[in-house]
Amino acid sequence: MSAQPARTARKRATPPSLAARAAAGEKLVMVTAYDFPAARAAEKAGVDIVLVGDSGAQVQLGYDSTVPVSLDEMLVLAKAVRRGTTTALVVVDLPFGSYEVSDEQAIATSVRCVKEAGADAVKLEGGGRMATARIRAITDAGIPVMGHVGLTPQTAVALGGFSAQGRTVEAARRVLHDALAVQEAGAFSLVLEAIPSDLAAVIHPRLHIPAIGIGAGSDVDGQVLVLHDLLGLTEGHAAKFVKRYASVLDAMTDGIAAYAAEVRSGAYPAPEHGYAMPDGVLDALEG
């Protein structure tokens, strides 16, 4: 008997249902998606949380960092993802510049994510004073917030680049402090990115909200990866924590190359790819 029917019968996940499953020891699965087919695939695979990450700026839209992507661009991606999911919790990343200015700006941005794109929750980066004030304000407005501490790509320049965080006593204390501050501010869950596994193991027992790791080892409640990384849709250097489960870019390239070769040789289209003319129509036309 397949496990799929039970999964497809599931209701959409919610922050409390995910917290209950994590508390029961179930590992939560989160993946990014930026369009309808990817959301469908994540849904069919039984993923618990789909993140419309601002990583889409790079892997989907081709920017060279997450910084330039606009809220309007994120909303287009998020709407497609929402349409592709039925049971996964849809979390939308607040892009850089869309929440830092004031609590009012953060609430207005989050409301757009919920009303226009159908987001179930939003995610924002950081655990300092500004980030925790925004988490509190958005949560007070009734929108669940996922935090994100450790390596925070939107402010990677200030952190000194895309390297693992929390590797000195002082830096480890800062990550622990940020994680607890995000929880205290009312986040329903948080992402721990690129920190030593031992540090995640210290932080995790101090949290009562689910911690989702990416490059944070296995002592957490779940894992997230960027879809394009795990599918092999990205080229060049990959972070240490990336595991590739497929070679989709190669499959796409091979498929398009085979099509191109057949167009050039005349093998495509074959007679069976064309439409037949009903009897007599051609004679009448020529006559």
Catalytic residues: 193
> Rounded to the nearest whole angstrom, what is the least distance from the CB of residue 149 to ligand KIV in the complex?
11
Instruction: Choose one: 48-56, 94-102, 181-189, 255-263; the region binding ligand KIV (CB under 6 A).
Output: 48-56
One-letter amino acid for residue 111 of the chain:
V
Residue 185 or 226: the one with the smaller Cβ distance to ligand KIV is 226
CA proximity to 225, closest of 95, 45, 77:
45
d(CA 232, CA 84): 21
Residue 53 or 232: the one with the smaller Cβ distance to ligand KIV is 53
Instruction: Choose one: 52-60, 230-238, 245-253, 269-277; the region binding ligand KIV (CB under 6 A).
Output: 52-60
Q: Which residues of 170-180 are buried (b: 16+ CB within 10 A; e: fewer)?
A: ebbebbbebbb
Among 32, 60, 85, 189, indicate the residue that binds ligand KIV (CB under 6 A): 32
* 54 lies in the site for ligand KIV, by CB under 6 A: yes
d(CA 112, CA 19): 25
* 185 lies in the site for ligand KIV, by CB under 6 A: no
CA distances from 154 to 41, 148, 169, 268, 279 (A): 27, 11, 24, 46, 64
* 145 lies in the site for ligand KIV, by CB under 6 A: no
Among 55, 60, 85, 109, indicate the residue that binds ligand KIV (CB under 6 A): 55
Instruction: Choose one: 47-55, 83-91, 163-171, 274-282; the region binding ligand KIV (CB under 6 A).
Output: 47-55
Report how far apart the first and last C-alpha atoms of the chain are (Å, whole number): 62
Instruction: Tally Cβ neighbours within 10 Å of residue 254.
Output: 11
Instruction: Choose one: 4-12, 46-54, 70-78, 201-209; the region binding ligand KIV (CB under 6 A).
Output: 46-54
* 191 lies in the site for ligand KIV, by CB under 6 A: yes
Within 8 A by CB and 6+ apart from 74, the residues are 52, 54, 56, 92, 93, 95, 113, 117
Among 80, 89, 203, 226, indicate the residue that binds ligand KIV (CB under 6 A): 226
* 214 lies in the site for ligand KIV, by CB under 6 A: yes
Calculate Rg over the CA atoms of the chain.
Answer: 23
* 39 lies in the site for ligand KIV, by CB under 6 A: no
- What single-letter DSSP state applies at residue 9? T
Using CB under 6 A, list all residues that contact ligand KIV.
32, 51, 53-55, 93, 148, 191, 193, 214, 224, 226
